[in-house]
Structure 1
Amino acid sequence: MSLRAILGGSSRVRKSKGSGSAKRSSPASSRLSAPTRRKSSTARAKQPAGGEDAEDFFDDKLDDVGLVTALAINLNLRDTAQAIYYIRAHMFSPMPQEAAGMNSTRIAEVLNYRKRLPPIVTVSHIQTLLSSPSAVEREIAELARSGFLRRTVVAKRGDIGETLILAADFEQMVRVSPSLAENTKDAFVAYMKGNTGMQTVGGESLSKIQTSQLIQAGFLTAHHTGITSYASMSSTMNLYSRPEDKGTLTSLETVSRQPAGSLGTVGGEGAVHNAGGSGGRTRSTSAAASAAHSSGAATELKLAVPGNGTFLTLLSAALEHLVWLLGRSRFREVPESVLRDRWVGGVVGGEARHAGKHSRGEFAGVLPGQTRKWRQFYGLSFDWVLREAVGSGLVEVFETGSVGRGVRVC
């Protein structure tokens, strides 16, 4: 048989090759296309539906290459005094110059609200700006003893309840207060200068009339050192309060005031009952507790700053909203840039999609006055709120190594 006859039938060879190729390519193509279809359907199932929730495209946890110890952007910050001025200057975002979405009445309301807030900062915020919290605490104690700072503490508010104010600003608030008489102002300022590191005011240093005026003006507050019911604490106070701030019969503050070896050092006879349990409580114990609570001996006067309650209310609401924004993600963590866009009320990628309109001077997107940042928080800066959340222990910032810094709920 000739070689042509052996190699003949090219159609048979082509047929065999074509059929084999088709048999090999068909499973391969199915293997390549099937996972693609499964992945797209899974991605659609995981993606939240509706509104701004659809911007969360992170189906896996972010890489963590280490926590960020200091959140300072300005590298010129070296001490506590500089940090205080920096925090106060960067608390609010500047008012939009155009397309604010607010009328003149609302703009005036926002500006007046900012002006009424006291010039105070939290201790935890300063610690997030500087690299050494222990060094910051020592410096604050030294500045308070020297009379440069005034430190006030609001009970059952945790870290956000410890605030600082410059002594010069505190004295200025006293001098311009319309609720105080001139002799009360002079006596109170003289007492503050003579007791620089004190957070309480003795009852014998001021007259009853002067003390009453200072309490009504908001410079002094009455702190009851007796029994405080834990059930009467609000949900916001429970969120930020420390264990030692919960004033029960077995709290450290109450037990430390009892005589050594007495029944009160272990909580007293009705400790279980007052803590919410079913333990018995005698009538004499109840009467004694009520008498101790109503007596003036268990009350002390503490320094306060007028408007501190408004400041803490705004701060608490902002921190809760920031944690809620993080909770919208699957793993309760997002890149810092995404969280920033959520805080200002924008959508991820909105600036890129509307770059053409912005270049022509046209506005695209939601007006600032229609976002929660301006409607509820009067333009609080995102960086300021983030540092407060880190200082309060609610969130932590970490490096991802790929998409910048990430933020997650602790």
Structure 2
Amino acid sequence: MSLRSILGGSGRVKKKSSTLSSRAKRSLSSAASSSASPSPSWTSSLPRRKPGVGVGAASKNKGVENDEDFFHDKLDDFGLVAALATDLSLRDTPQAIQYIRTHMFAPVPDAAAGMTSTRISEVLNYRRNLPPIISIAHVQALLSSPSAVEREVAELARRGFLHRIVVPRRGVVGEFVVLASDYETSLKKTTALSDNARESLPKYLASNPDSQVLVRNALKPSEIEELVRAGFLTAHHTGGVVNHGAMSSTMRSYARPEDKITLTSLETVSRQAAGSLGTVGGQGALHNAGGSGGGSLSIIAPTSSPATEYRLAAPGAGSFLKLVSTALDHLILLLGKSKFREVPESMLRERWDGGIAKAEESRHASAKRVRGEFIGVLPGQTRKWRQFYGLTFDWVLQEAVGAGLVEVFETRSVGRGVRAVR
């Protein structure tokens, strides 16, 4: 007997069919249709969206508002950075002053700068005419101990190694230090001074090294007039009330509280005798500040004219203050483009440079530059060079930290982060 006859005459082993009946198919299809179209619920009573205000339109509007925000959540904060100095050789204030001065501006690009020769000369002349002054807050941000910097500045000023210059009603941004050697060099280079005026001020500073205000009859009136015109002295009125309405928005950002809010300056009130009328602003203080005072204007009259004192100054300090103020405002504006006003330091640096970092890091950027081809935004066409004359990002960041406008913290994932405080 053959094997085929034993197996029943079939050469294959057949499997039971798994096909469903028509009735089962109809039941499954009805169940699927019922799940696809659920019964009316509370969602059907909600009002329908207007045309063009769907999910896609909302996400599009959100992208327009935060077009440059790549981080839709706050950065990890593992503590503030104590000192911003990357050079470990900086240990005292004189070294920090030299470091800040040498790293203030970026070198002018030698090729494909996007600036004409006239513009390049304007940039170089502007840098050369700036005074050699550095804000004390900048030095404090660069080193690890602000209190130690303040004590060292006071000691160096007492010894005559540097001079301290204060611009009233400008806050921490208006407190500068300048090396005594640089200040004397500026005096010697000035052609608008006579020999007597050029020699009299250094002699006075040698006998009064830490003085910021000239005592009465310290110099001749003609010498004082020459020094004021040259910019080495400035007249400051100690009496009267500060006109807060005339202060610009930039000045109010860095002014001290007593110069922005109170009716009279605490600097003026503190010099008056205890119990006198001057401790409350003098006669007519409320009227001069903008109020009526409830009295006749003919009765309220100052008893004496405001006194004038002469403070130590530096020629070109106004241009320096304007450059620093506008740069700080622009840095805060760049931080405001992010949702939480905080971004990684690398991204903020790219925004400050005008977004040309990616073009410069391209693999074929050097070859295109040699061939003279256009590789993106030229440096001379960015705000960094058009308005700020090549001011470096690190310098502005250190100035902002010293002024208390931003904080730098560690993220441990995307490097250091920068957060706006005000």
TM-score, normalization: structure 2? 0.83
Whether 1:47 and 2:63 are equivalent positions in the alignment is: yes
Aligned to 1:33: none
Q: Summarize the Cα distance change of 1:176–1:269 in structure 2 as closer, same or farther, 3 Å threshold.
A: closer
Query: For residues 258 and 183 of structure 1, do their structure 2 counterparts lie closer, same or farther at Cα, with a shift above 3 Å needed?
Result: closer
CA contact (8 A) 1:120 1:165 kept: yes
Show the counterpart of 2:159. 146
Deviation, structure 1 residue 153: 0.2
C-alpha change, 1:244 and 1:359, in structure 2 (3 Å) is: same
Partner of 1:70: 83
Determine if contact 2:283/2:301 at 8 Å carries over to the other structure.
no
Aligned CA distance change for structure 1 residues 184 and 267 (closer, same or farther; 3 Å): closer
Q: Which amino acid aligns with 1:356?
A: H
Please tell me whether the aligned partners of residues 213 and 312 of structure 2 are also in contact (alpha carbons under 8 angstroms): yes
Distance, in Å, in 1 between the alignment partners of 2:330 and 2:251 is 16
Instruction: Give identity over the alignment, percent.
Output: 58
1:88 to 97, 101, 121: 101
2:233 to 220, 226, 242: 220
Q: Which residue of 1 aligns with 2:365?
A: 357
Aligned mate of 1:126, from 124, 136, 139: 139
* Structure 2 partner of 1:315: 324
SS in 1 for 2:293: coil
Q: Which residue of 2 aligns with 1:371?
A: 382
Contact 1:152-1:304 within 8 A present in 2 as well: yes
SS of residue in 1 equivalent to 2:364: helix
Query: Helix, strand or coil for the counterpart of 1:377?
Result: coil
Counterpart of 2:238, as a letter, is T
Distance apart, 1:292 and its partner CA: 2.3
Moved more, 91-100 or 197-206: 197-206
Asked whether the equivalents of residues 68 and 338 of structure 2 are also in contact (C-alpha less than 8 Å), the reply is: no
Note the aligned Cα RMSD (angstroms).
2.8
Q: Are residues 1:186 and 2:199 paired?
A: yes
> How far off its partner does 1:348 sit?
7.2
Query: Which residue among 197, 218, 221 is the counterpart of 1:208?
Result: 221
* Deviation digits for residues 201-235 of structure 1 (CA, Å, limit 9, x no counterpart): 12312111111111111111111001122222222
Distance (whole Å) between structure 1 residues aligned to residue 313 and residue 86 of structure 2: 31
Counterparts in 2 of 1:22-37, with a 5 A limit?
none
Whole-Å Cα distance in 2 between the matches of residues 46 and 383 of structure 1? 31
Higher helix share: 1
The residue number in structure 2 matching 1:273 is: 287
Equivalent AA in structure 1 for residue 253 of structure 2: L
After superposition, give the CA deviation of every residue in 1:114-156 in whole Å (9 maximum; x if it has no partner).
0000111100000011000000000000000111101100011
Where does residue 244 of structure 1 map in the other structure? 258
Length, aligned pairs only: 382
Q: Is the 8 A contact 1:247 1:253 kept in 2?
A: no
Q: Is the 8 A contact 2:407 2:419 kept in 1?
A: yes
CA 1:357/1:254 → structure 2, altered by over 3 Å: closer, same or farther? closer
TM, length-normalised to structure 1: 0.85
Deviations 1:25-58 (Å, cap 9, x if unpaired)? x99xxxxxxxxxx998765442127xxx733222
Q: Does 1:287 pair with 2:301?
A: yes
Secondary structure at the aligned position of 1:165 is classed as strand
Which sits farther off after the overlay, 60-69 or 207-216?
Answer: 60-69
Question: Matches of 2:135 and 2:231 in 1, distance apart?
Answer: 19
Residue by residue, what CA displacement relative to the aligned partner does 1:240-259 show, whole Å, maximum 9, x if unpaired?
Answer: 10013459654322322333
Equivalents in 1 of 2:208, 2:261: separation in Å? 28
Query: For structure 1, which segment, 62-71 or 117-126, has the greater mean C-alpha deviation from structure 2 after superposition?
Result: 62-71
SS of equivalent residue, structure 2 residue 409: strand
The superposition leaves residues 365-402 of structure 1 with CA deviations (integer Å, 9 ceiling, x where unpaired) of 10111111000100000000011111111111111221
Higher-Rg structure is: 2
Decide whether aligned partners of structure 1 residues 328 and 348 sit closer, same or farther in structure 2, where only a CA change above 3 A counts. farther
Give CA deviations for 1:313-351 in whole Å, capped at 9, x if unaligned.
Answer: 111111111111111112211111111111111167445
Consecutive unaligned residues in structure 1, runs of 5 or more: 1-6, 28-37
2:396 to 378, 385, 390: 385
